[in-house]
Amino acid sequence: MQQPKIWLSLAHMSGREMDFIKEAFDTNWVVPLGPNVDGFERDLSEYLGGSRHVVALSSGTAALHLGLILLGAGKADEVICQSFTFSASANPISYVGATPVFVDSEPDTWNMDPDLLEEAIRDRIRVTGKKPKAIIPVHLYGMPANMERIQKIAARYEIPILEDAAEALGAEYRGQKCGTLGEMACLSFNGNKMITTSGGGALVCRTREEAEMAKFYATQARDQAPHYQHSKIGYNYRMSNICAGIGRGQMTVLQDHVDRRREIHAYYHDALLGMPGITLLTNPTDEYRSNHWLTCVLVDPAVAGYTREDLRLAMDAANIETRPLWKPMHLQPVFADAPYYGNGVSESLFDKGLCLPSSPVLSEADLERVVEVFRDRL
Ligand SMILES: Cc1ncc(COP(=O)(O)O)c(C=O)c1O
């Protein structure tokens, strides 16, 4: 008989969510604003260290879109983006009519390579005569990017950083939370993330003025007037008070989720240690503290004797969901014409990498089932 399915990354409810939702219904706050939205933004700001202003939105993608608008990116601009990521990091660049410029990854963090970033900035200035409008590094799979070097380069050329921290809530770099390391940042609360609001996101801003401007654009850019008047194009991007209620409940277990995903990574790390041809994405130094949203392995077929695809199919046969690493943006047909500064790292990661089940609800027996596939089924 087939064993129950083990999923890649499932939501886990604290049990408090319904209290916040019920309160919203009882008080008739069933709208895209209200006490849960305010409370969720406050909780997130506190969790991030208290120095940032958080705006709850309908998705992480919406957050990146508004971030780019606030940074003034538009037609005839270029925006530098990490190539090794999910398409939602790059799509908003096209929404504002700008051109994405893709930069490859470094082998340690799998995130934006600072040397290539600087090469790309210099070359774009040479080719177009102007600076890129923003830099979007991604903390992929919860691993912080090499922010010290990226911040230095961004400061040298005076280009703002829009962090994509969609996968990195709870991760830290040099003791500081991801999401507070750039001018602005996006968070995601999609169903498979560290916490969920069923679907949702947030823009993290440095100043209150930026946060107010984000709220303005997120609520159809309505001017101050008794009638409806608009001087800018607006969006309907605000989070509903119901979704924010789920978020408030989820905040009560966020740190538990981070701790559990780190435990799961440690379990895989110990169990797979010494297995020929298998390596894990791990914190390169003490300065990095990944939330280990997903534990990722690389399979070197020359040593392991099997490929990443063999591993994925063996997991599938054991009723275990896994997923290849993100296919880099410079290889995506939709971005075929975009400039790219590369070194082959992300292509190799895509060839060799697989994400393992990492939900906080996984039991030791579930984890053992995954490890058993490596040991006995290949
Ligand atoms: C790296 C990355 N950026 C952006 C997003 C977009 O977030 P959302 O799905 O909330 O729009 C996601 C997740 O979906 C993501 O993984």
CA 246 to each of CA 189, 193, 256: distance values in angstroms, whole numbers, following the listed order: 10, 14, 16
- Which tokens sit at 143? 């691993």
* Residue 1 counted as domain residue: no
73 contacts 134 by C-beta, under 8 angstroms? yes
Q: Within 10 Å of residue 284's Cβ, how many Cβ atoms?
A: 16
Provide the token pair at 350: 């895509």
Please provide the DSSP assignment of 292-346 as one string: -SSEEEEE-HHHHSS-HHHHHHHHHHTTB--EEPPPPGGGSGGGTTS-EE--SHH
Q: Specify the 3-state DSSP secondary structure of 26.
A: helix
Cβ neighbours of residue 135 under 8 Å, at least 6 residues apart? Answer: 79, 80, 81, 112, 117, 150, 154, 159, 160, 161, 162
305 and 210 in one domain?
no
Structure tokens at 187: 């968070």
User: Does residue 116 share a domain with residue 29?
Assistant: yes
CA nearest to 335, candidates 140, 124, 94: 94
Amino acid at site 263: E
Same domain, 270 and 342: yes
Question: Does residue 96 share a domain with residue 166?
Answer: yes
pLDDT of residue 378: 82
Considering the domain architecture, whether residues 72 and 179 belong to the same structural domain is answered as yes
Among residues 219, 253, 287, the one where a domain terminates is: 253
**Is residue 11 one of the residues assigned to a domain?**
no
| Minimum-distance ligand 1 atom for the alpha carbon of 199 | 10
Residue 300: which domain range? Answer: 255-376
Inside any domain, residue 109: yes
The CATH code of the domain that includes 277 is: 3.90.1150.10
| Residue to mutate (ligand 1; options 8, 64, 66, 188; most atoms within 8 A of CB) | 188
What is the model's pTM? 0.97
Residues 6+ apart with CB under 8 A from 266: none
Paired tokens of 357: 């089940």
Residue 48 pLDDT: 98
32 and 97 both lie in a single domain: yes
pLDDT of residue 298: 98
Note whether 178 and 299 are same-domain residues.
Answer: no
Evaluate whether residue 10 is within a structural domain.
no
Please count the structural domains in the chain: 2
| Ordered DSSP codes for 221-234 | ---SSSS---SS--
pLDDT at 206: 97
Pick from 225, 253, 281: which residue ends a domain? 253
Residues with CB under 6 A from ligand 1: 59-61, 85-86, 88-89, 138, 164, 166-167, 188, 190, 201
Atom of ligand 1 nearest to the CA of 201: 10
* Residues in CB range of 116: below 8 A, 6 or more apart: 103, 104, 341, 342, 343
Are residue 164 and residue 181 in the same domain, yes or no?
Answer: yes
Which tokens belong to 108? 């340690």
Q: From the CA of 86, how far away is ligand 1's center (Å)? A: 7
Q: Are residues 236 and 261 in the same domain?
A: no
Are 129 and 110 in contact by the 8 Å Cβ rule? The answer is no
Which residue's CA is the closest to the ligand 1 atom numbered 15?
Answer: 166
Give the span between the Cα atoms of 219 and 352, in whole angstroms. 43
198 backbone dihedrals φ, ψ, rounded to 5°: 80, -30
Domain identity same for 235 and 291: no
Q: How far is the CA of 91 from the centre of ligand 1 (A)?
A: 11
| pLDDT digits (tens), the chain, 378 positions | 789 999 999 999 999 999 999 999 999 998 888 999 999 999 999 999 999 999 999 999 999 999 999 999 999 999 999 999 999 999 999 999 999 999 999 999 999 999 999 999 999 999 999 999 999 999 999 999 999 999 999 999 999 999 999 999 999 999 999 999 999 999 999 999 999 999 999 999 999 999 999 999 999 999 999 999 999 999 999 999 999 999 999 999 999 999 999 999 999 999 999 999 999 999 999 999 999 999 999 999 999 999 999 999 999 999 999 999 999 999 999 999 999 999 999 999 999 999 999 999 999 999 999 999 999 888
Name the residue of 65, 86, 237 whose CB sits within 8 Å of the most ligand 1 atoms, as the mutation to test its pocket: 86
* Residue 193 CA, closest ligand 1 atom number: 13
Q: Are residues 238 and 357 in the same domain?
A: no
Q: Which tokens in the block code for residue 154? A: 């961004």
Pairwise CA distance, residues 351 & 46, whole Å: 39
Task: Clarify whether residues 117 and 237 are in a common domain.
Answer: yes
* Domain stops at, among 212, 238, 253: 253
Q: Which atom of ligand 1 is nearest to the CA of 85?
A: 1
Ligand 1 center–CA 82 separation, angstroms:
14
Q: What is the CATH number of the domain that holds 236?
A: 3.40.640.10
Three-state SS sequence of 115-165:
HHHHHHHHHHHHHHCCCCCEEECECHHHCCCCHHHHHHHHHHHCCCEEEEC
- pLDDT score at 219: 96
